[in-house]
Structure 1
Amino acid sequence: MEIRHPLLNFVLFSALGIGAQAARAQDAVLDDIVVTAGREPVASEAVGRAHTLITGAQLERSGSRSVADALRQVPGLAVSRTGGIGGFTQIRIRGAEANHLLVLIDGVEVSEVGSGEFDFGALAATDIERIEVLRGPQSALWGSNAQAGVISIITKAGRRNSLEYGGRAESGSDATRIATAYLRGGRQRYDFAFSGISRRTDGFNISSFGGEKDGDENITLNFKGNADVTPSFRLDGTARYVNRKTDTDAQDFAFPPTPTQGLVIDSDDQTRSRELFGGTGLTVDMFGGRLTHQARLKAGDVTRKTFSNRTRSSGSTGRRYHASYQLSARIETPAIANARHAITGAVESERETFRQLEPVFDPSQLAERSRTLTGVIGEYRGSFFDRLHLSAALRHDDNDNFEDATTYALSGALLLPGSGTRIHASVGTGVTNPTFFEQFGFIPAFFQGNPNLRPESSFAWDAGIEHPFLGGRLTVDVTHFRQRIEDEIATRFTGGFTTPVNLTGTSRSKGIEVSLRAEATDALGIKGSYT
């Protein structure tokens, strides 16, 4: 449940508009680029994969206070939330599980190591430049957990030769208070951006019983920066910190059964989490930009603890370390199909660690678990006659604890001259590795992990057409998709305890996604979607 009455906005101070023309030009460029559609940014019209872009300006106009609410308008996505503001929030794409979705913030994976999921409950719709949503398997480009798609959130960067600062405070129902502040700017050879948000709400009682309110507290700090050491040598870095407390109510599983058996009952429960993510990278251009080297280090650390009646009842901590190197070459053949080609090769290494903090039923629970992955990726992109855009990607992942995986992806987009019509299609495979909970378990007497699990795998394709009407003031995109998933992981009750297993057989799904964008007037825009 969201805030149930309009918020009262109080503008504390506004931004300095230095360099406004450059800012507008940069926005126009960004609106036409999909950063996560390939190993290098790709023009939106050249992307064959089903995708949706939400700009920061659109977020402002829509009045969305959370990223999860903004994503409800995207076709193919299902958003579910437990309780009120700050409650545990999952997003699923095309009927897949929440841990089949890769979530990136400024290029850093932010899902929890233990569950493989990202909780969108803490993510406010502020300080965001754009949100990119790719639907369908993206594992060939981005590895495990991109089986169903990718959601990439890009925060606002500083602008060269400018300085902006500002903030806002809001107050609303359920004693909700939100305060935001930012400082962004740069000089000729560098830019930076700092931002912070504090959100507090007393909330409401999630349960139908009792009267205790379930509130939420959230503090989020974000930094990103870029520096040109030389015209061909660049450095960048990001850092993100989240500290939150979310009140919850328990579900009644008492034995012997009570009159409220299975229902959510009023209880003094709370979840506390601390998230820290960061990344740094360098980019070197050679031969006038025809050859580019990129090296990057990324890391994440998430600790989550739950309390019942002010006593800690469970907890875990997970860390992820990621290193990558990428080499991209660009070739133009104007005499042959007026073509542009881009070939990229990359290697990635990732190490994840996980440790259960509580409850302790067995000393083995406190042991730190770890696993490593090495991936090799190749991608080709070609544009022909400025109308036909093709891409192909192949990836092999070497897993130390379970079965290796090889995935592929093919896509294409065709622009029909003189009509504005764009035909797009993609086909590919995806994988999702077992989570640490599934692989190692967490309560030996009741739930035992299965070290013999295989990664879940999928095959999917989609095809669609995008066409403008009314002189471009109305654009409609219709996409048909089909997918099948094998080796799905489910929990089975065996011999007095439960354990995860790979199911036999195949799960199939199909559907139609429709998106609509209309400019009713210069000041009024309309968006709609159907799945």
Structure 2
Amino acid sequence: MKNSVLLLNSRAGFCFACITSSVALPFNFVQAQTSVAPTLQDVVITANRIPTKLTDVLADVTLIDRTELDLVGQSSLLDVLSNLPGIQISRNGGYRSSSGVFLRGATSSQTVILLDGIRIGSATSGAPALENMPLDRIERIEVLRGAASALYGSDAVGGVIHIFTREPGVKPVYTANIGVGGDGQQQSGLAVRGSVGELGYSLGWSREKADGISVLVNPLSSAFNPDRDGFQATSVDAKLRYQVTPQHQLSLGLLHSDTDYQFDGAASPNPLKLTKANTDARADSSLNNLSAQWQAQWLPNWKSTLALGVAEDQSVTKYFRSTDGAFGGSGKFNTNRRQASWQNDLSLGQDVLSFAIEQRREEVDSSMNYSVKARDLTGAMLSYALRTGDWSALAVLRSDHNSQFGSFTNWSLSGGYQFNANWRAVLSSGTSFQAPSFNQLYYPGFGNAALTPQQNQSNEVGLKYRHANLNFEATVYQNDVRGFITPSTNVQSALAILRGISLSSAWQIGASQISASYDYADPRTQPNNLRLLRIARHVANFRVQHQWSDVSLFTEVKFSSDREDNNLSFTGRDKLGAYRLLNVGANWQISPQWALLVRINNLSNTRYALANNYSTPGRNAFVSLSWKY
């Protein structure tokens, strides 16, 4: 029965620790220009914790802005992330089932997820519930690949994904959208943003639902039920920003998202003696995020940001008898975080010296009897960004204290050389660490209180080419994780080696835009030399978009090689076959106020698996109409 719980509720079952951190956003946030492919003037924050032009960033970074999100027309945040370099996903079933994100071969708990600077995710499983994030309410996404604990503290083994919600506007803008699709998909949203005097505001609401598909596909599973497993999700967000003086700004952000989805699961204990044929299993997964910031320009070269945040990740499973709705039991795995940070940035000519201190506390409220239910974390970070002539560098040193495991020091050093106007070489090295999650330590029948934090060192070398209409990047990396904790078995191995190659390019030819990426990842544990589960060696993405008058046409192709996953009995491994996906669509700007999107996913109706025994959607179409005034 324990294996059933672990398999069917992956957020509550097995993963790694998610230790909170808060990142202070510097005062002069420069909004990236809107374009399908990032322009040379785009600015990112996550790579250095300070606004930096994309052309000056040393790290391996991807930026997705709102215009691109509108044009790709994806149905969820996970769909967007799955097409980015270095990222693979797994999904336990249909459209909004529990999921995992693997960045550069790291496990789903080894990537830090920030929402407007506040870390989100479960402290029990260690993994974030990205299925809760409403794509319609996202302004931009920044993905930082590579070990980043020196900047962000624990868990940033594979990197950082930073999500920014919708920003206040200058003048009032009203938007609405409605969409329908296959498998009973329905989508709607309303939003307004603008400003009144010195007060900027953004308010939004969105709702999604679907009849869904059957989550499990293996009839031999003890929980298999061939019925449709649907979902409904509702979100509300607000952001206020007040310019007190030219030097001081206050902001407040709020997001509430609630997703209720069905899955095939078995209750334990089972007082009603429910069977797989009459069990209606439901998961109520919600995210509450509240943040406040005070940004100050004390001197022309001195900026500071004080940030406070509260994040709640709630995961409640309930079981009912489908024939009469009788209640058959429930379980919960909830996380509450309180976070604070203070960052100061001192400009020294073209260089920037930054110092930050952070404090966070995380508490779990679970139906499981954990012997420890809270921990405190504090951290201090010092960084120096250097730019002189054709040379640039970033040096970071950080110390973190975990109330359960003591103190850890991490560092990173990156350097870059600009050969000419187009070519640049970069070299990076750094360390990261990750404490075990509460599940890994204390889950009844599974946890091991003797586990110790994982520590790793990462090295990478990259080559970047940028021209007027062509961008190309190549990165080779290796990340050695000592004391790696295997998610499915909770066994601490001597070492895991995460190595790979990442290639990406974007090319503009007249009215056409072409983008492509290829990733080779071969993460393995030692000394048994086993591949990490659910991660393919080869993944390639290709996208072509052509603008024809007011109509934009696009085609997407994804190729993934095979991957491995646990079999049904957890006694061995099964191979999940290679697959190829084809998506097509069109955007029609009917008028300045009205736009129509048509998208067909999995046009070839390919049958494939991202997690063993779990289903994935077949061919499905989606049509949406949006209005903006």
* TM-score, normalising length: structure 1: 0.83
Q: Determine the structure 2 residue equivalent to 1:325.
A: 342
User: For residues 455 and 239 of structure 1, what CA distance do their matches in structure 2 show?
Assistant: 33
Aligned AA for 1:110? Answer: I
Gaps of 5+ in 2: 1-29, 220-224, 270-275, 321-326, 520-629
Change in 2 beyond 3 A, CA 1:376/1:491: same
How far residue 191 of structure 1 moved from its aligned partner, in angstroms, is 1.1
**1:197 partner SS:** strand
The residue that corresponds to 1:489 in the other structure is 485
Structure 1 residue aligned with 2:409: 406
Name the SS of the counterpart of 1:71 in structure 2. Answer: helix
Q: 2:363, 2:373 within 8 Å by CA — same for their partners in 1?
A: yes
Unaligned runs of 5+ in 1: 1-21, 255-263, 333-339, 359-364, 494-499
Alignment partner of 1:311 is 2:321: no
Identify if the C-alpha distance between structure 1 residues 396 and 218 changes in structure 2 by more than 3 Å, giving closer, same or farther: same
1:163 & 1:431 partners in 2: Cα distance? 45
- Does structure 1 residue 377 correspond to structure 2 residue 389? no
Task: State how far apart, in whole Å, the 1-side matches of 2:41 and 2:366 are.
Answer: 43
Structure 2 distance, partners of 1:196, 1:327, is 34
Residues of 2 paired with 1:24 and 1:515: CA distance? 20
The one-letter code of the counterpart of 1:343 is L
* Residue-by-residue CA offset, 1:339-381 (whole Å, 9 max, x unaligned): x1111111111111112125xxxxxx17771110111110101
Distance 1:487-1:378 versus aligned 2 partners, 3 A rule:
same
Preserved CA contact (<8 Å) 2:458 2:477: yes
Partner of 2:67, secondary structure, is helix
What is the letter of the counterpart of residue 430 of structure 1? S
**In structure 2, distance between residues paired with 1:492 and 1:114:** 14
Letter of the 1:512 counterpart: I
Cα gap change, 1:294 to 1:79, in 2 (>3 Å): same
Q: Which residue of 2 aligns with 1:464?
A: 462
| Alpha-carbon distance, 1:81 to partner | 0.9
Equivalent runs, 1:506-521 vs 2, <5 Å? 506-521=495-510
- Once the two structures are TM-superposed, the CA of residue 407 in structure 1 deviates from its matched residue by 0.6
Distance 1:391 1:491, change over 3 A: closer
1:158 partnered with 2:168: yes
CA contact (8 A) 1:113 1:320 kept: no
Q: For residues 108 and 506 of structure 2, what CA distance do their matches in structure 1 show?
A: 27
| Shift in alpha-carbon separation, 1:108–1:43, aligned structure 2, 3 A | same
Question: Does 2:426 correspond to 1:447?
Answer: no
Correspondence for 1:4: none
The equivalent of 1:13 in structure 2 is: none
Q: CA deviation at 1:129?
A: 2.1
The equivalent residue for 2:432 is: 430
Cα distance in 2, alignment partners of residues 229 and 57 from structure 1? 30
Match of 2:627 in 1: none
SS across alignment from 2:122: coil
Q: Cα 1:205–1:239, aligned 2, differ >3 Å: closer, same or farther?
A: same
Work out the CA distance in 1 between the residues paired with 2:149 and 2:288.
Answer: 25
> Does residue 233 in structure 1 map to residue 248 in structure 2?
yes
Contact 2:293 2:306 in 1 (8 A): yes
For residues 62 and 140 of structure 1, the distance between their equivalents in structure 2, rounded to whole angstroms, comes to 34
Counterpart-to-counterpart distance in 2, 1:43 and 1:116: 32
Q: In the alignment, what sits opposite 2:515?
A: 527
Pairing 1:272–2:284 present: yes
Aligned mates of 1:138, 1:25 — CA distance in 2: 26
In structure 1, what is the equivalent of residue 472 of structure 2?
Answer: 476
**Number of aligned pairs?**
471
Question: 1:459, CA displacement in angstroms?
Answer: 0.7
Indicate how the Cα distance of structure 1 residues 111 and 24 shifts in structure 2: closer, same or farther if over 3 A, else same: closer
Give the match for residue 532 of structure 2: none
Query: Aligned with 2:154: secondary structure?
Result: coil
| Letter aligned with residue 435 of structure 1 | S
Deviations 1:132-162 (Å, cap 9, x if unpaired)? Answer: 11111111011112121000011221222x0
Structure 2 contact 339–358 (Cα < 8 Å) conserved? yes
SS of alignment partner, residue 127 of structure 2? coil
Worse overlay, 240-249 or 124-133: 124-133
Q: Is the 8 A contact 1:248 1:267 kept in 2?
A: no
Partners of 1:346 and 1:378 within 8 A in 2: yes
Q: Does 1:121 align with 2:126?
A: no
Which amino acid in 2 is paired with 1:463?
A: V
| Alpha-carbon distance, 1:37 to partner | 1.1
Residue pair 1:252, 1:265 contacting (<8 A) in 2 also: no
Question: What displacement does 1:65 show?
Answer: 1.5
Give yes or no for the alignment of 1:191 onto 2:218.
no
Q: Deviation string for 1:80-124 (max 9, x for gaps)?
A: 111111111210111111111000111111111222211222223
Counterpart CA distance in 1 for 2:31 and 2:105 is 39
Pick one of 21, 37, 44 that aligns with 2:54. Answer: 44
3-state SS of 1:437 partner: helix
Q: Does 1:296 align with 2:286?
A: no
Percent identity among equivalent residues?
24
Residue pair 1:202, 1:213 contacting (<8 A) in 2 also: yes
Contact 2:133/2:257 (8 A) holds in 1 = no
Establish whether residue 283 from structure 1 lines up as the match of residue 295 from structure 2.
yes
- Which digits, 9 at most, give the CA deviation of each residue in 1:316-349, with x for residues without a partner? 22111111112221111xxxxxxx1111111111
Give 2:264's aligned residue: 249
Root-mean-square deviation (CA, aligned residues, Å) is: 2.6
1:112 matched to 2:119: no
* Code of the aligned partner of 1:392: A
Structure 1 Cα separation of the partners of residues 401 and 236 of structure 2: 35
Question: Structure 2 vs 1, CA of residues 346 and 23 (structure 1 numbering), >3 Å: closer, same or farther?
Answer: closer
Q: 2:215 corresponds to which residue?
A: 206
Contact 2:113 2:162 in 1 (8 A): yes
Pairing 1:91-102 to 2, within 5 Å after superposition: 91-102=101-112
Q: Report the counterpart of residue 391 of structure 2 in structure 1.
A: 388
1:47·1:389 contact (CA, 8 Å) conserved in 2?
no
Q: Residues 99 and 330 (structure 1 numbering): CA distance in 2 closer, same or farther, change over 3 Å?
A: same
Equivalent in the alignment of 2:93: 83
